[in-house]
Each structure stands twice: as C-alpha cells, then as structure tokens.
Structure 1
Amino acid sequence: MVKSFKHIIVLIASLFMMGVVTAQSMDNYLRTPLPIDPSLKIGTLPNGLTYIIKANPQPAKRAELRLFVQIGSVDEDDDQLGLAHFTEHMVFKGTKSYTKQQIIQFLNSIGMGFGGGLNAMTSREFTLYTLSAPTDKPEALDKAFHILSEMGLAATFDEKELQEERGVIIEEWRMYQGASERIQDQVQNLIFAGSRYAQRTPIGTYEVLSTFTREQILRFYQDWYRPDLQTLLIVGDFDPVAVEQTIFKYFGAYPAAENPRPKVSYPVPVHVEPAAIVAIDDEMSYTSVDLIWKHDPLRVNTLGSYMQKTLINQGISMLNTRLDELSRSGNPPFSYAYANFSPLTQTRSALELGAYCPEDKVEEAIQALLTEVQRIKQHGFTSGELGRSVLSTRTQLERRVADKDKELSSRLVWSFLMPIVYGDTMLGPEQQQQFFEMFSPYITVEDINGIFSELFTAENFNITVTGPAKAGLTYPSNEELIAQRALVEAIPVTAYEDRTLEEPLMADIPNPGRIVKQRTLKDSGIRYLQLSNGIKVYALKTELKNNEVLFNAFSRGGISALAPEDVIAARIVGDHIIQSGFGEFDKTTLDKQLAGHIVRINADIQLYSENLSGNFVPKDMELAFQMIYQYMTNPRRSQDSFISYISKQRTFVQNSRLDPQSVFSDSLEAVLSGYHPYTRSTSVEELNQVTLDQVMRIFHDRFGDFSDFTFIFVGNFDERKLQDYCRIYLANLPTMKRKESFRNLRITPPKGQVQRILYLGRDEKCLAVMVSIAKAKYSAQTRINLQALDMLMFEKLRVNIRESRSGVYVAQTMSQLNKYPKGRSSILTILACAPDRYDELLDACIATMDSIRAGLVADADVQYVHSTLQKNLESDEARNSYFLDEIRENLWNELPADDYLNARRRIRKITRQSIVKTARQYMTHHRDLIKLISLPLVRP
C-alpha cells in the first residue's frame, strides 16, 4: 500500500480544526480500530474456531450456513497439486456419523441437494462450503450443523468414494482446458513471478490428480482442516442465542489441534523493473490489455485505512468515468475499459487499468490508458468530478441503509466473505454511512491526487496483453510494451475537460393524458390501468425492498415484423439508442447529470417483441418516467456515437469464430432453427453494412407505436404518484394505433434422428448436447411439471452419469415451454466428457430418461422435487424480480397477471404419476432427437 499517511494529513488537520479529532494525536487517531457491526454476534470456541452470527428476517424461516476454511491451493505440498479442491469434493462423500447417501438424502429432503443450491468453492487462499437450512424445523437445522461440523472436522475419505470421485475431478479439470486457461497460466506466471501463487492453481495438475493416494489427500485434510483455521458464518431468521448453543454443541466438540502445522503466509515478491508479457492463443476470441501496479495489502480495520480506502474508491470512480467517456469517442482506442483497486492476494493489493480493444489497437489502447495515468499525475482530478463521485457514493449508502432489514440472507452472507479473507473490519450499513458522512465533507481532490501519485509507482509494474494468434497479426514485443510508459511520460498531457450540460432533462412537461380504465386484482393487489393512448399498466406495490422499483414493458412484433435485411441492425437498436442519449444530452453528459440518482433504463428488440426494462429508487420515479419519455420521443441521432458503437461491437464479433464454444453455440442455434436466416449469428461483414439511417428507421417503427405496449411495475412506489406519472409521461408516448402482433417465421427444427459432429479446438474434451422437441399446449401447470422433471433428471444424472460412471463433472437437463408463435416444448441435455466416452454417456442419459418414462420414480424422488421447488419458491417470493418475471410471463401467455398465486397448489399437484406422464409426453427422443457433438480437431 502507499508508504505513509502523509496524503491524508491535510484531511486529518481539517478534522482536527473542526473538533472531530480532539486530544488524541493524529497518529493515534489514524490507528483507532474501526468498530465491528453491532448486529453481529462474534465469538471464538475454546478450540480456536471463530463464529459469526447475524439474525436477518429475509427470507423467513431460512438460514444460510457458510463454513470458511482459511486454506486453499497455495497451501498444498508439491505432491498435492489440486488436492485442496479434491478435498472440497470428498467431504460430501462421508463423515464419521453420516454416509454419502445419508448426507444426500438429508440435503434433498430440505431442498438443498445438488439441484437445490448446495455448493462449495476452492480458491488459492480459502475453501468455502455453502448450505441453506429451514429454521422452522429445529431437527433439520440441528442436523445441518452436525453434518457441516463433520464435513469440516471428521470426513472419512473412503477409498472407494475417492476412486470414483477421481474421474469426476479429472472431467472438471478437462472442462476447464482451453484458450483462457492457457492464457491465464502465462499471465499469472508473470504477475505472481517468484511466488507460490504462480505454481498453485486450484484445479491442480493431471499428473497429481490421476495418481495421488489416499495418504496424500488425508495428509492435506489432517494438516489444515482444523478449528483454528475455520470460521463459521450463519445468517438467517433465527434466535442467535440458540444458534450459538448449537455451534458449541457440534463444532465445540472437537479439541484444538495438537502441534499444528504452521500456516505460512506466502509473499508475492517485489520487483524494481517493470515486466510485460504478450500471451496469445489461436482459440482466443478477444484482445485485452492490463496495466497492474502491485502494493502492500490494504486492510481496512482502522480509521486511517478507512480514509485511505475512501480516497482510493473516489479516485477509482472518477477514473472509471473518464475511461467510459473515452470509450464512447468517435474512434475509440478500446471498446471497454475499467479501473479497479482490490486485493490480489492476502499479501498484495493491486491497482489495475484494463481494456478490451480491437486486435490492431493494442499499442493505441495501452497508450490511451497510460495517458490517463499521466493526466492524473500531471493535473489530477477536478472538483466537479469529486462532487459527483461523493454524491453517488452517498446515494448508494443511503439505499443500503434503507434496505438493511430487507436484504436476502443469501446475498448478505457474501458481504462478510471478503472481510474474513482479507482482514477487513465488518462494518454495518449505518456505520459505513456514518463514517462517510463524517469524512466526506473534508475530502479534496488534492487528497486523492496525492494518494494516486503513490499508487502509480515505477516499481512493481506489469503490462499484459492477451489476444488471438492469427496469420498476419503481429503484437508489440515485451520490450516495446515497457518502452511505451517512458514515451508517454515524456509528453505533456492536457488537463481533463469536465464537459457538462447545465439544463433540465425535460424542459417542457406534456399535458396529462387520461386513465380510461382501472381496477384492482383482489387476491394479489395488482393495480391495472389502461391509458388514453392504449398502454396497459400493471403495478404491484411491495415492501420487499424499501428502495427498489423494477419495471418491464413489452409489445408483440419484434424482429419478426421486419424484413430479413434488417435482422442484424435490429439486434443493436435498443442498446445503441440508450448509449446515444436523448435531446442535447449524449451519454457522457447524461451520466453526469444523473449523479446521485439511481435510475437505469434498457431497451432491446427480441425475435418476437420489443422491450423496455430497468429500475429506480422511489425518490427518482418521476426522473425514470421522464427518461423513458425522452428516450422514446427524442432519441439523440449522432453519427459519432453510431461509429463508436459499431466499432465496439465489431471488437467482440470479429474473432468469435476462433472460440470453439462460440462456434458450438452458434451451430446449435442454427441446427435447432433449421438454419433460419432470422436466427443467424452476427458477422463482421453484416455489422459493417448497418447504417445509422437503418437503425433509426427500425427504432421509429418498433418503438413508434405504444398503443399495444404493456408496462409492469413492481416495488415500493407511491401509488398516487405512479398514476400521475403514467398519465403525464406514458399516456403521451407516440401511437399509430396499428393492429399488429409478431409474425410466425415458421422456424422449424429438423425431424427424426439428427446428429452433427463438429471438430473444434485442440483440447482433448467433448461437449455434447441432445435436444428433443415436441408439440405442447402451454399451461402454467405444464411449465412447473417440466421444472420438476428437470430437477429429477439433474439428480438422476448425478447418480447415473457422474457418480456411477465417473464420466462427467456435471450433466444437466433444461426444459423450455413456449406458447408462441407455436406451442412447443424442448428438453435439452448437456454434458462435457472425454472424447472417447460421449456415445456411452449419451446412451446412459437416454436410459435415464427411459427409466422415468417407464415409471421408475420413487417416493423419495417426489419428496426431493417437492422440497426443492418449495424452498426455491420461498426464496423467490422475497425478490421483486420474481414477481416482475412472473407477471410478464403470465401476460405474454395470456394468463391472469397474478396467476403466480397458484404456484403452491401446482407444486402439490406434482406426483409420481404427473412426472411420468410429463416425461412420456415431452421426452420424445425415440422419435425426434437432435445431437450436436464437439470433438477435438486432432484425434489421438
């Protein structure tokens, strides 16, 4: 981190003069520990295990359990590469008191099996286990704690289970092989040069994974899985005292480790001279550049470190705004750029400036990033930029405080993870707001300029370039990359011009239209309005979040209503319109005008609909309506903006054919659609033919008639104000009173048994997909029946393909049900495996489907489906987005808007008989089955 606190002394002096700092010396004041969030109950067991408990009411009757182990792949011995991750898998395979099957049966019974959200992850520095449990069933919660304690401290590592899991792990290793992995290995060898981090990726090596013994992995577990290296984090709807007692009961039953192996902190060595690398691959589909300055870790646990991080955050925010503005210039050096300051490891932080750029603009992109660095070093930031950044931060903190009791436990629990990993103090939302309000009035650009002058150091500096390897494409050498910094530093840079527009977003407010019909849906409380221009509005007021309103709007038609030559242009219309701004405001001046407000508006044209979507906070509701009105009635036509947008899109399209997965995806879409021209992927040649006139013509056609649009609002809005804004803004959106719908494009999948084999990529892996498509009559019950079938297939494929055959890391079935343009269901099964096993494993998938069709569905299977669907529904009902999505789905399919109220009844109607009937009706693979298989280019 920066070498001293000297660049916040001015800030401290100001606080001293204002009486905020009193008798304490400044030095002592800076080192004052931050107070821990008082809502947390934190303790340490006699054996050294730390626990953190937080009561949280959302969702009701649910607890989130996280077991954090302060051990990762960096702690592996040389003969254990990959065994930290392998251990993560093995603790689910049996413990002192529970067999693998008993663990699975219990987790399935509470809706938390592998198909219900059970998960774990391994990084270089830690391992994390994730579990959810009901709190209204004390015996289930008690058992969840017992199992988790034994997974962390009493796993058995059965030899048979270990050998079966070896194949699964090797398939996971195989799945990750590819251009990204090869590129990252090179880049991380540079960034972590001389460090153990460069030698320890979590997935490990094939050599170790295929040959290690039980003794090797048991040694890892016994060395590192011990109480003093574990933290238990529990968040949910419960009595904290009772939870603490349960923790003592199970986790406290284990003694502290005797003569524990010392936990080593591994440094990332410093280097005086800059270092660079160009890492390219013939399957890489994009080009990126990164500038990285490595620093000592910044642990935010004192007032001084909090001030430092606050100054850095404000600077990063302002720098990102500058980079975003530069990316929208007429001929941008990059398509997207970002700045970030975050932990690199537990022993290093990093300031990073990165960009994605056209393959022929690598040097230009690096020069642009370095120029922005010099602009800050020579001229600093401006007071206008700082004012907007502070205002935006304040608004975000206000939102967090307003919703502090409305946050879902499953999301809240993640906010504690990084402080645990990197040693930050856990601050509550009110504390964060309090400290920010205390210090922010005294922050100056001089403070931030000073701290960034130390962050942009000469030493510990890396430049990385990644991109495709293609004939005729050359990259600068490592030496040329490093030389660019000296060249840019030698050139004077002009100061940043803070371009703003001092005028209201809407100067003239239209006269209100009328609400011609209105009613309230009695059971749900949804308010229905029909406006004088034909727009229909459905509004559901909730209190799930105090500071959130979501919206969606749709009209039938979409790309299907356009001519074939407009297909590619239509795909970019919505995004281009939003990125161009409206009226006199381009995107840059608009974003600056919106500082301190939380409003997001999106537009897009899909195959069968044109859509608007977004979100806003209640106090910005009128602003959101004004922006909808302005975007739709006064879009900004700018050739420069269009050229910039097309240039950025071209960057991501030009090399997509180099990526085997992208080719596979495009091929699957083509085969399933019968190679229909409206579903073709976008090519650079077609993108280059799109014109601004064409884009604007399509926009005015698709968004020029709102008489058939439906708007949906869900959240904590003022109902009277919502009606007023609907009359003023929505009722004045343009109409043509056309009678139109989407056009049936007659996209028809092939019939019969179809198999296509693609030879893609150099890696020894196979990706296989099977799709069966059937005629279907849409109903909400059929939709949930197919979801139940998906869940059961996931579990049975886990047993039959992953466990019994050790053939895949994951095999999964996903269903889809459409009413329009033609009633149709599709069931897609996907797996990744070794190239020589795809026939065997696809046959096993079909056999699994046939077993369900034959009625081999046990009572335990039905219970698993019920509990998982019920658990998922309870979690969904705590989110505004669930209700928004359900209302839209219902209205699109001409069902009552509040048909979601019947979800529980429909779950109860799922039986063994209904599952078998659904499988027989929609698993039509014996008649019609499409297989698409990707094999490596070079066969062994």
Structure 2
Amino acid sequence: MLFLQKFLSIAGGICLLALTAQVHADDNALPWDKRVVHGELENGFRYYLFDSRQEADAPKGLTLANLVVLSGAIDEEENQLGVAHMVEHMVFHESDGLPSGVRKALTDMGLKQGRDFNAMTNSENTRYMVNLKNTTAEQLNTVLGIYQQIAFHAKIKASSLDKERLIIQEEWRGKLSHRSRVNDEKKALLRVGSLYPERPVIGTQATIKNTPADQLRTFYQDWYAPNNMALVIYGPVDSAELEKQIKRTFGSESKRRLPKRHPKDPLLDTDLKIGQLTDPGSKMNRVAFLYRFKNEQSNTDESRRDGLIDYMTRNLLTDQIRRQREILPDHVRVLSSTKGSVSPKVDILGFSVNVDEGYHALGLKTLIQELERIKTHGFYQQDFDQIHQKVQRVAERNKDAAKSRGSIWSIKMVDAVTSNKVLYDPKESNDRLLQLVKTISLDDVNARLRHWLSSPDRILYTQAVGGKNIDIGSAESVVALFAKARSRQLGALEKEKTVAIKVLPETASSGSVSLTSRNTELGVSNWSLSNGDQLTLLDPSVLADRYQIPTLDSDTKSYFTAVSAAGYNVKQGSTWAEQIAVQMANATGIYGWTDEEFQQWRKDNNVFLSSKQKAQSLAYRGSIENHGLDKLLGAYRVNQVTPNIDTDVYDSIMASLKRNASVDVVRPIETFSRRLAQARFGKDQAALALSDLTPLSLEKLDQIRHKQVALPVHYFMVSRLPEKEVTNLVAAYLANIPRDTASYDQSSYDTAPVVQQAGQAIVDVSLNPEPKAEYRLYAYQSVPWSPIAALQLTYLGERLEAQLKQRLRSEVQGVYSVRVGLELNKDTDRAELKIQYSSSPARLDDLAEMTKSVLSELPSIVTEEWAKEIQAAFAEVEQNRLEKAFDATMVHRLELSEILYGDARYLGEMDKLTSGLTLNKLKAFADTLNFNDRVTGFYRPLD
C-alpha cells in the first residue's frame, strides 16, 4: 500500500536494495535479476517466474502464485465507491468455466480460504494469492485455469451479489473503531488534494448496500484486461514449460484499451494547510508539521544516486532528531520524525512532538525552532562520514545476503510489479551503488535536507485529549513563527555523546554447584547451587541423536531461562507496584551506568535479556552465541545483585504513568471490557489511577525490587558447550547471587492466580458509537496440563473457528471474521476459550444462539478426515520446527516439563504427541468439554 504507514513514528533504516526504481530506462539502466524469468504475451499479459530450486535452502514443494490486477479503488468513478473491492469478492463466485464458483474449485483442491488462498484490494491494485504446499504440475495448471476464470470469465450475478453484500457489510462494520476513525482523519489531511480520501477501498455502507451488479461488471470489463495484469509465481517450477502453459491459458484473451486513469498524486501547492484530529477517544496531545514534495524515480544512475542521498539524509535526520530531544523544554517531549509516500510520486516528511495539556502552542514553537535549527546548521561531517561508511558496508553485505531469499522472492517480485519497478541483481545493483556513493558529499546531503524543509506544500495538525478544539493560530501566524525562528541566532545542533566503554563488575568470589541427578538418555542434569538456586541443564545433542535431527552450522547458541515466584498478583500490597518495580529495574539496565553506556554494551556483546512477569512468576530469558555466555550470565547477575532503580528512570517512568493516569477519557469499548473483567474475575479491573501511584516512592519501589530478587530461582539452560564449562560459569556468575527471603515478611510473597470465577454471567451494554455490535465469550474448564492435551486443544480451537466461520459467515452471512482462542493454561490447569466477532446489531442475538449451538455440538465437529489432516499437518510442522530450531524448542519444553512434572519426561515423549490426534482420542476429549463456566458479552450501539 502506498499510503503512509506507522505515521509519526521513527522510521528504521531501509535496505539499500529497496532503492529499486521505476521503469524509465536509459543507457545505464539495470536489468531484472537473471534468476527471474519474465515476459509479456502479445495481449500485454505479463509474467514473472522464479524457480525456487535455484536455492538449496528454499522451502521444498512450496509454490506462491499471485495474480495481480493493476487497478484498485483509485480507479473507481464517483458512482463506484467500493466496487474494486466488491469485484474482488465476486470473482470467487460463478464463472463461465466454473458454474459452481471459483471458491469451490479451490476448496475441491483441498485448499482452505485464509490459509491457502486469499485476496486483497487496496487503492492501487487487487491481488489474488494461492499457496501450494506440495506442488505438482497438475495442481499448478489447475491454479492457472482458476486464475484465468478470475481474470476474464467472472459472471458477477446480481443474486450472488445480494448474498455477498452481507459479508462485505460485516467486513466494513468490523473495521469501525476509534483507530479507524483517527486513521481516516489523518489520511484526509495527509492526502488532501488527491482522490485517495474520496475513494475508500471498502466503500461506504450505502454503496455496499445499493451499488448494482452492472456497475461491478463495468469495472470488471474496464480493468480486468490482460494488459493490466501480471502473474507472479515462486516455486519449484520448470520456467520454460510454465511459460508455454501461461501462453496457452492467458494468451487467447484480446488486449483492451484501458480507461483513462485518475491522477494518483495530490496537487501540491504553496499553502500551509491547518487541520485537527477531533475524535473524542483521543488520549494524547500532539502537534505535527509535515512537508510534501515530488519524488520521481527511474532506472537511471541519476535516480539511484538521488535515492542514496535520500537514504543518507533520512538516516542522519533520524539520529539528529533523537539527539534534539535532550534540549526540549518542560511540557514538550517525544520529538520524532518519519518519511514515507502518500502517492506514487509524492513523498511526505513529518515531525511531531507530544505536549502536556494546554501546551500545544509551546509544542509548535519548539517544533519550528528545531526544524529551523536543523535546516540552518545541517549535519556534522563526522556523522556524514559514518553514514557514508555504513552505506558501503550494507551494500557489500547485501551482495551475498540477497543471494538466498527463500519465499521473500515472492514479496520482492510482487512489490516490483505493483510499483512498476525492476528487481535488480543484488551484485550488479550494489556494485553500482558503491560507485555512486563515492560521488556524494556532505553538501549533497545538506542540500537535500534543505530542499525537503523548504517545500512550500505544508500541513500542520493538532490532536488533543478527548478531541478538544485547539486554536493553534492562523497560517499567517505560523509563518511568522518560522520567520522569527530564522531571525534568531539558533544554537548548534546536539552532538552524539561520547559513550564510555564499560565492562561488567568482576565477581568477588565464585559459588559452587553440585550434581543432584542425571538422565543420560535425555542429556539432562540437575544441579544445586550454593545459594539455594537450582539448575536444569540440557545437552541437546543427545536428544538430537535420539530423534535423528542433524546438527546445523547455526547450532552454536546457548539458551538461558531464570524463573522465580516473583509474580505481580500479590495477596498483600500493590499489584501495580510489583509490575512497575520490574519495569523500572529493566529500564535501569545496569545500575550506575547511563542508558547509552548500557545500550552500547548490549550491542557490542549481543546480550539481550527479556523478562515476563505473570501473576505468580517472573522469568528472564536470553540466548547468545556460546562464546558470549559469560556476558549473558554476567548481565543477569548484576540485575540480581544490584537491583536498585535509577533516579532518572524512576522520574521518567513515573511522570509518564501519571500523565496517562490523569487522562480522563474512557472509550466506550474500555467500559465494556472492564465490565466483562468484573464479571469474569469478581473485582474491578480499573485502569491505573493517580491514587495507585502516589504511595510509590523510589524508596518503596527499591524495597519491592530487592524483595523480588531475594526469591530462589530455577535456571534452565540448553547448551552444546562442555558441561564443565557451563557449570563453571554458573558457579562464577549465578551461585554467588545472595538469596535471603528471611529478611522479608513471608506473607508479602504470597500470590494468587488470576482466574475466571465459576458460574455464568452476561454483560449486555449499549455504548458503541458505531453501528456495530460485538460478541465476546470467555469460558473455561478444568483440564490437567499435558503436552498432548495442550496440542489437542490447539487443533480443536482451529476446528471450532472454522466451523463458526462456516455457520456464521458462509451459511447465514452474519459475520466477516471470527476469532477463536482455545488453549491449555499451564499455570491454572484450565482449558480457556475465547470467541469474538462483530455483526449487525439486529442479528447479534441470533448469531449468539448459533454460537451456543455449535459449542454444544463440539464432539460432532471432529471427523476422521479432519483428524487425518491435522496429523499430517502437525507431523510436518513438528519436523520443520525440530530441524530448524531444535535447541530453542528444547529450552521451552524442558522448562514446561520440569515445572509441571518435576522431571524431563516430556523430552523423551515428544514422538508420542501425534498419538493424541487420532479420531477416537480427539472425540473422547471433545466429549469432555462443555465450558459451562462462561461469561458472555454483548456490546451494542447506543440506544
């Protein structure tokens, strides 16, 4: 999609290979990558083929076939709103050669909608996707025949359209939300002067209901022409034979004259346009300023050089904006920038700040001052030198990195086709970039920066909590602020801080470890540490031999997990405090170091520890190359030995929490969710309030953090290093961590699981500002955890979702999508079920009854055909998982087994998992599930 995404967030670096260009060739044009076979039939139908057998590690048997129609919503007339998307739906119905429908032809091949085939429409194009797992020539020819029916022979009957309207209405309804309203407002501002805001892809409720079938047929005849299409195939294909088949299948349709296309690019002007996001659900105060300018690309060295200058300027700007945050005044924060495209030939560069209530004017003044400061001074030479070197490093690396892309080839080819670009050979293109980057100087980059920041087409918008009106001033007053900033002597730009190279503090003395048990058949050993902690260590090579999993060159990592009982749901004290203490400790990094020092150390040593706190546990997890295991263990040790919270971290996080808590906007959906939580858990699940934060001084949170790390820990490690080497490191870094719970009131450690209460309840509210109803079901049933039961529930959840989609969507066209979650919670020994969908308010109660009916018939959805299907599917998934990520899989299963069984038996029984997927066992298990303990929620429109 060409509309700006992730707007006003800091953009990451771009792969230099993205600097492909639109096809306007000259003498130095680069050709398509030779590995892609491409051509054009006499009727203008284009094709792009990649034989995946060219790459040794390509997914075996996988084919990704895409039919791209180079038209979308932007090509609609005023009386055709939503028609491109409606046509996408209708071509799955009857066609000349498939009177029972394209969808049935695909399902008759054993393919499932959503998983194996799908379609999507955006403003510029429509795409049809079919995935084949174990490709045969016969299957692929069948898909080509189906694509021919989609492309040229759809009937688009009025009677079928009337049924499909209900599905499309529910798709439209499902998108209604606070977020969509804000995105629509933003899109209207950013794309002002173009047709994009006037051509919503899905249409409107009125056009979905009333547009006649002949309008769809007109659009189909106009734009579904062979000279407006492309076929993109990635798979194990004989390209020469496939080219012949494509010509036979698609070559007989005549080339057609296409209607005149609407302009896609907005008309740029010299005006400053001022707007505001007014949705009442807004929870932030923000000021944003944006520049729009033309950016045309072509397959020339001049354009490639321009692309490099853009890339370098954008990266330098991102870094400089980050530094300028250090000098923002009080009440202004989160200075950020982004650059993207609003149309094929128009880019947008945006800047924003968040502000406190009542400080929008200060935010605008600050934003203008920083923009003028950057524009006046330009970038530093030393920063330019660094990005110059980075471009060369990336280009050199990409020569080899892009040689083996796997299925990403499909994405790259489709992107090139839909953007009218060329997918270059990585070596040729990067060699060319390496030549061109030598011609780029700091002056070139600063000139590009000033060009962007001098664009006369500008947009200013504000956003306020609750959608309140903000008087930011007139265009003239804003222009005057720029002039005033230019007239001032603006200070120099912030420079990159010099970051001290840090090393972890050395351990005073090692502890000791002693073996308590060993299972040689599984390669598992259990150890007691001198501080009372426990270690379970797995040598995965033993199990790899047992399950005949070959060793990979990438099997050079060690995996680490540390689990304690420091959960947040304490019976005495503040659950918020327990969570905030962990958050602040993680943000502190290593106490006594600056954040820059810690981040640089992590980057240099590739050490990344994540934490996850649950109601009754706290876990730290990380993995690292074997040679760096001491650094990983050392970082964890410092986290435990020096658990103090940095003062600046405390001030920053607490200020953010208090700001959020002071926002008095409660969206209707949040009220509904809280009432559901009240019914489920029997207590108010209100958001964090100022009253919760007031008692939480730095000293209080420090005490809580010290209390947390005093708890004993169970470590789980998976490593192919020699056992002695691992245990020596454990003795040096872990066994000497002090654990002293005796210093604390033992009742302060008591936690409780967060579980839904028994019984049935209904929450029925009419608060939705949108013409949409929502259904939610939360249910549970006690089921002892076991690997097989967990697996059975996963597949039963998928089956239940498919059955609900069949009943609620396909049979009665009542919903567009259904989401079902069914899993076995190892912490509570409960099978937990969640069902959610949206619908027409008038049909909600009937659909709820149908849902109840499907649930009551759970055993009947288990069929022999389905059981065989999931057995094969799981066997494939499991084999792939073990072959590609054996060690990572083992650390998770080792932890599960030891915590739930007290031993490693799960690792020795992994080959028995499929035994639970037989018809009889699945039926027997499903027969025990009734989910009588449930809470049902109905979220209806305002009365």
TM-score by length of 2: 0.83
CA distance in 2, matches of 1:98, 1:106: 11
Identity in percent? 16
Question: Aligned equivalents of 1:386 and 1:893: distance in 2?
Answer: 55
Q: What CA distance in whole angstroms lies between the structure 2 residues aligned with 1:548 and 1:170?
A: 52
CA contact (8 A) 1:797 1:812 kept: no
Shift of 1:322: 4.1
Q: Is the 8 A contact 1:103 1:147 kept in 2?
A: no
Task: Please give the residue correspondences for 1:725-744 in structure 2 after superposition, counting only pairs within 5 Å.
Answer: 726-727=729-730, 730-731=733-734, 734-736=737-739
Q: Which of 638, 642, 648 is 1:640 aligned to?
A: 648
- Which residue does the alignment assign to 1:843? 849
Letter of the 1:233 counterpart: V
Q: Please say if 1:852 is aligned against 2:862.
A: no
Bigger drift between 546-555 and 63-72 goes to: 546-555
Alignment of 1:403-552 (within 5 A): 404=402, 409=407, 411=408, 413-427=410-424, 434=431, 438=435, 444-469=441-466, 474-477=470-473, 479=475, 484-506=481-503, 508-510=505-507, 534-538=534-538
Aligned partner of residue 922 in structure 1, secondary structure: coil
Quick one: distance in 2 between partners of 1:704 and 1:617?
A: 29
Does the 8 Å CA contact 1:574/1:604 hold for their aligned counterparts?
no
1:50 aligns with 2:60: no
Distance 1:685 1:121 in 2: 48
> Is 1:553 aligned to residue 561 of structure 2?
yes
Alignment root-mean-square deviation, CA: 4.2
After TM superposition, give the deviation of residue 453 of structure 1 in Å.
1.0
Name the structure 1 match of 2:692: 686
Deviates more, 1:587-596 or 1:209-218: 587-596
The equivalences for 1:756-775 within 5 A come to: 756-775=763-782
Distance 1:241 1:883 in 2: 44
CA distance in 2, matches of 1:176, 1:936: 15
Match 1:921 to one of 923, 928, 935? 928
1:851–1:249 distance in 2 versus 1, CA, 3 Å: farther
CA contact (8 A) 2:560 2:715 kept: no
Residue in 2 aligned with 1:71? 71
How far apart, CA to CA, are the structure 2 residues paired with 1:246 and 1:206? Answer: 42
Q: Taking structure 1 as reference, are residues 44 and 897 closer, same or farther at Cα in structure 2, changes over 3 Å only?
A: farther
Give the AA of the match of 2:87. T
Residues 517 and 148 from structure 1, CA distance in 2 versus in 1: closer, same or farther, beyond 3 angstroms? farther
2:81 matched to 1:81?
A: yes
Offset of 1:137 from its aligned partner? 4.3
After superposition, what is the alpha-carbon deviation per residue over 1:178-208, rounded to whole angstroms, capped at 9, x for unaligned? 3333333333333222321121111211111
Task: Answer yes or no: is 1:32 the counterpart of 2:28.
Answer: yes
Q: Distance in 1 between matches of 2:673 and 2:803?
A: 26
Q: 1:594 to 1:423 in 2, by over 3 A?
A: farther
Tell me: CA distance 1:666–1:190, structure 2 relative to 1, closer, same or farther (3 Å).
same
Task: Return the alpha-carbon distance in structure 2 between the equivalents of residues 486 and 360 of structure 1.
Answer: 24
Q: Which has the larger radius of gyration?
A: 2
Q: Is the 8 A contact 1:385 1:498 kept in 2?
A: no
Matches of 1:848 and 1:337, distance apart in 2:
51
- Aligned equivalent of 1:815: 822
CA pair 289-157 structure 1, distance change in 2 beyond 3 A: farther
> Corresponding residue for 1:933?
938
Distance in 2 of aligned mates of 1:505 and 1:563:
40
Q: 1:450 to 1:260 in 2, by over 3 A?
A: closer
Matches within 5 A, 1:773-784: 773-784=780-791
Unaligned runs of 5+ in 2: 1-23, 542-549
Cα gap change, 1:669 to 1:453, in 2 (>3 Å): same
The residue type equivalent to 1:811 in the other structure is V
Contact 2:764 2:938 in 1 (8 A): yes
User: 2:567 corresponds to which letter in structure 1?
Assistant: I
How far 1:363 moved relative to its partner?
Answer: 3.6
Report how far residue 824 of structure 1 moved: 0.9
Report which stretch shifted further, 303-312 or 796-805.
303-312
State the TM-score, normalizing by the size of structure 1: 0.83
Distance 1:392 1:271, change over 3 A: same
Shift of 1:775: 0.8
Do residues 199 (structure 1) and 198 (structure 2) align? yes
**Letter of the structure 1 residue corresponding to residue 706 of structure 2:** H
One-letter amino acid matched to 1:569: A
Q: What's the offset of the Cα at 1:719? A: 7.9
For the pair 1:285 / 2:283, whether they are aligned, the reply is yes
Q: What is the number of equivalent residue pairs in this alignment?
A: 898
- 882 and 572 in structure 1: CA distance in 2 versus 1, 3 angstrom threshold: farther
Matched, 1:660 2:657: no
| 1:244/1:624 CA distance change after superposition, 3 Å | farther
Match for 1:268 among 250, 266, 269?
266
3-state secondary structure, aligned to 1:92 = coil
2: CA distance, partners of 1:492 / 1:200 = 46
User: How far apart in 2 are the matches of 1:668 and 1:445?
Assistant: 58
Q: Is the 8 A contact 2:644 2:705 kept in 1?
A: no
Specify the SS of the correspondent of 2:824. Answer: strand
Cα drift, residue 81 of structure 1: 0.6
Tell me which residue corresponds to 1:18: none
The answer to which of 503-512 and 589-598 deviates more is: 589-598
- SS of residue matched to 1:275: strand
**2:574 equivalent in structure 1:** 566
For the Cα contact (< 8 Å) 1:95–1:155, is it kept in 2? Answer: yes
- Superposition map of 1:668-683 within 5 A: 668-675=676-683, 681-683=687-689
User: Does 1:155 find its partner at 2:154?
Assistant: yes
Structure 1 residues 108 and 465, CA gap change in structure 2 (3 angstroms): farther
How far apart in 2 are the matches of 1:720 and 1:300?
58
For the pair 1:313 / 2:325, whether they are aligned, the reply is no
- State how far apart, in whole Å, the 2-side matches of 1:580 and 1:221 are: 59
Contact 2:501 2:597 in 1 (8 A): no
Partner SS for 1:469: helix
Which residue number corresponds to residue 169 of structure 1? 168
- AA matched with 1:694: K
Contact 1:357–1:651 (CA<8 Å) still a contact in 2? Answer: no
Q: Which amino acid aligns with 1:500?
A: K
Tell me if the contact between 1:279 and 1:466 (Cα under 8 Å) persists in the aligned partners.
yes
Which of 369, 376, 379 pairs up with 2:377? Answer: 379
CA gap of 1:323–1:623, structure 2 versus 1, over 3 A, is farther
Q: 1:758 to 1:708 in 2, by over 3 A?
A: same
Partner of 2:613: 605
Taking a change above 3 Å as real, the CA distance of residues 356 and 811 of structure 1, as seen in their structure-2 partners, is farther
Q: Work out the CA distance in 2 between the residues paired with 1:177 and 1:44.
A: 41
CA distance in 2, matches of 1:453, 1:38: 39
Amino acid at match of 2:797: D
Q: Per-residue deviation at 1:270?
A: 0.6
Please state whether the residue corresponding to 2:63 is helix, strand or coil. Answer: strand
Structure 1 residues 406 and 419, CA gap change in structure 2 (3 angstroms):
closer
Which of residues 747, 757, 760 is equivalent to 1:750? 757
Give the partner amino acid of 1:166: R
Partner SS for 1:572: helix
Q: Name whichever of 783-792 and 892-901 sits farther off.
A: 892-901
Shift of residue 809, structure 1, vs aligned partner: 1.1
Q: CA deviation at 1:695?
A: 3.4
SS at match of 1:796: helix
Counterpart-to-counterpart distance in 1, 2:70 and 2:625: 38
| Deviations 1:412-449, CA, capped at 9 Å, x for gaps | 53344443333444246556665565556775544322
Pair 1:743–1:295, CA change in 2 (3 A): same
